[in-house]
Amino acid sequence: MSNALAGVEPREVWKHFEALAAIPRASTKEAAAREHVQKLAATLGLESFVDPAGNLVVRKPASPGREKAPVTALQGHLDMVCEKNEGTNFNFDTDGIRMVRKEDWLYADGTTLGSDNGIGVASAMAVMESKTIKHGPMEFIFTVEEETTLGGASAFQPGVLKAHYLLNLDNEEKGTLCIGCAGGLNTRARRKVSFVPAKGNAAYRIKVSGLKGGHSGVDIHLGRGNAVRILGGVLQLINEAVAVQLADLKGGSAHNAIPREASAIIVTDAAHETKLREVVAAYAEDVKVDLGAFDAGLEIAVEKAEIPKQVFAHADAAATVDLIASLHHGVLAMSPDVPGLVQDSTNVATVSLKDGVVEIVTSQRSAIEGSKNLAKRLVATSCRLAGFETEHAASYPGWKPEPESDIVRKSKEVYEKMYGSTPKLIAMHAGLETGVLGVHYPQMQMISFGPQIEYPHSPGERVQISSVAEFWKYLTAVLEAL
**Residues 343, 323, 261, 84: is their CA dihedral positive or negative?**
positive
Task: Give CA separation, 458 vs 11, 23, 258, 341, 454, in Å.
Answer: 26, 19, 9, 22, 9
- Could you tell me which residues come within 8 angstroms of residue 37 by beta carbon, excluding any fewer than 6 positions away? 56, 58, 78, 121, 125, 142
Query: Considering only CA atoms, which of 481, 463, 474 is closest in space to residue 112?
Result: 463
CA–CA separation, 99 and 111 (whole Å):
9
**Cα of 436 vs its chain's centroid, Å:** 16
End-to-end CA distance of the chain: 33
**Cα of 314 vs its chain's centroid, Å:** 35
CA–CA separation, 346 and 189 (whole Å):
14
CA–CA separation, 175 and 265 (whole Å):
47
Map residue 129 onto helix, strand or coil.
helix
Asked whether 97 and 113 are in contact (CB, 8 A), the reply is yes
Map residue 357 onto helix, strand or coil.
strand
- The DSSP letter of residue 44 is T
Q: Give the CA diameter of the chain.
A: 83
What radius of gyration do the chain's Cα atoms show?
24
CA–CA separation, 134 and 61 (whole Å):
11
CA neighbours within 13 Å on the CB side: how many for 333?
Answer: 16
Residue 322 is among the residues annotated as catalytic for this protein:
no
- Residue 3 parent element (H or E): none
Q: Note the residue count of the chain.
A: 482
Neighbours of 356 (CB within 10 A): 12
Residue 86 is among the residues annotated as catalytic for this protein:
no
The one catalytic residue in 30, 79, 83, 433 is 79
Map residue 9 onto helix, strand or coil.
coil
CA–CA separation, 429 and 432 (whole Å):
9
The one catalytic residue in 18, 116, 139, 146 is 146
Asked whether 88 and 110 are in contact (CB, 8 A), the reply is yes
Long-range own/partner contacts, residues 42-49 (CB < 8 A, 24 or more apart): 44/128, 44/129, 46/128
Catalogue the active-site residues: 79, 146
